[in-house]
Chain A
Amino acid sequence: MSYIEIRDLKKTFEVHGRELEVLKGVDLDVEKGTIFGIIGFSGAGKSTLARCINRLENPDSGSVVVGDVDILQLNKRELLEQRKKIGMVFQNFNLFDSRTVYRNIAYPLEISGVSKSEIHDRVLETAEMVGLSDKLDAYPGGLSGGQKQRVGIARALVNKPDILISDEATSALDPQTTIQILDLLKEINEKSGITILMITHELEAIRYCCSQMAVLENGKFIEKGSVQSIFSNPTSRTGALFAKVLQEFQNISFSEGEGI
């Protein structure tokens, strides 16, 4: 049984009085505890899809079920509680510059009214997990990109969510840092069994982390399946479209020689 179940999801934006159909009926099944890769060109609708899962964006129609929760049926209060169970990591980190690393990681607990002493324990534990124990008093402004993303991951995980949505989490990082962050995500997945939805335009990142993947193009999944089958047999089922995707990503992603 799948843990995340998306059915016929549609979302249209109105831009300058014209309708822009971004999601045109998306179906997705993600199994619990896996790292599921979603790849697609810029503008394909990846971020919009991610934002529909925690309803930062309200889809027009369709359904999103996580575990046994029908996300689109939640009222305002329930939605806020549900979001605490869905961590999100961003390409630009989106850390709070006014807060130290400690207080960034503490934020999700703070808004849930967790006691100071418990916050302390959880922050330390989470910081340790992402390898930031020595940076707790630093401000994000003084951190490297990789360290910033570790803070972002810690902030997303401190509430012990069931799902982590990573929206291009490594796209702003250099190849070496990318691998470290991907290793971290894999390690967290193995240890805690959290389900990770890895959205990226870096094919290599998916090959490195995921067993299942899907290709989003133009608001629809044009290909779904095991990473292995899609990589080993790219032309059989995906045809011209996927070949185009593959070619595109080989141009922009880090080279094979770098060991991932």
Chain B
Amino acid sequence: MSLLDSSLWEVIKASFNPEIWKELIVPVGETLYMTVISSIIVLIFGMILGVVLTLTSPDGLLPKRVSYTTVGWLINVLRSLPQMVMIILMIPVARLIFGKSYGINACIIAIAASCIPMYARIVESALLEIDKGKIEAAKSIGSSNAQVFFKVIIPETLPAIIRGFTVAVIGVISMTALAGMFGAGGIGDIAVRFGYQRFQHDRLFACVYILVVLVQITQGIGNFISNRMLKTRNLI
């Protein structure tokens, strides 16, 4: 059903047709799979880059100009690429890793590559949020740099890191819409193929509901965890 020949209300009603939803079960699974795997990759590499950036910054724990400048530059370059360009650039990378440049794994690579630089910056600003006095106190007690980092900086900034990760996961979810480019399926692919190209707007609407709910749930979980931490710590 299309908005071109039906009213909005009719399309909305049609979008709740069980037939449509039955067809969406598999794509939802694909989207969830891509989201989870990509998010884990983003978490790992974003954390590493963000941590390197913070530690090696001029007033970080281990100032090191070369790595600070290099990583900062790399992140900026990656962030300035439009998503489509990133996808094209990731095709050879995916081929290198998986031996093929299409499919769900290749798509995950492209999604992760797009979101890692963003999360790295989020991690950086979360880590920089810490009160310098706490680091000074930890050092005055005789903490090594590793102890300052793992026992003070990370636990103290964890709520902000988690909130930032929520933002990154939502970024990943919206990126999965591009999965169609890789023949990787997923909700976004259905939305684009049926909704955009074939004017089946009832399907498009159903996909939108699912994406909205996914994003809401993600944000809800992120807020819940970080707020509960702040409450436990009596900070809110």
Contact = CB atoms under 8 A, between A and B. Distances in A.
A186 interface: no
Interface residues of B, number: 22
A84 B142 contact: yes
Nearest to A79: B142
B140 A98 contact: no
A49 to B, nearest CB: 14
Interface residues of A, number: 32
A86 B235 CA distance: 30
Contacts of A97: 156, 233, 235
Interface in A151-204: 152, 155-156, 159
Contact of A94 (B133, B143, B147): B133
B228 interface: no
Given A80-B142, A83-B141, A98-B158, A111 B151 contact: yes
A97 B155 CA distance: 9
Given A90-B133, A94-B131, A96-B152, A83 B140 contact: yes
Contacts of A99: 155
A98 B133 contact: no
B10 interface: no
A56 B142 contact: no
A97 B154 CA distance: 12
Given A141-B235, A142-B234, A56 B134 contact: no
Contact of A139 (B137, B141, B147, B233): B233
Given A80-B144, A96-B156, A56 B233 contact: no
B65 interface: no
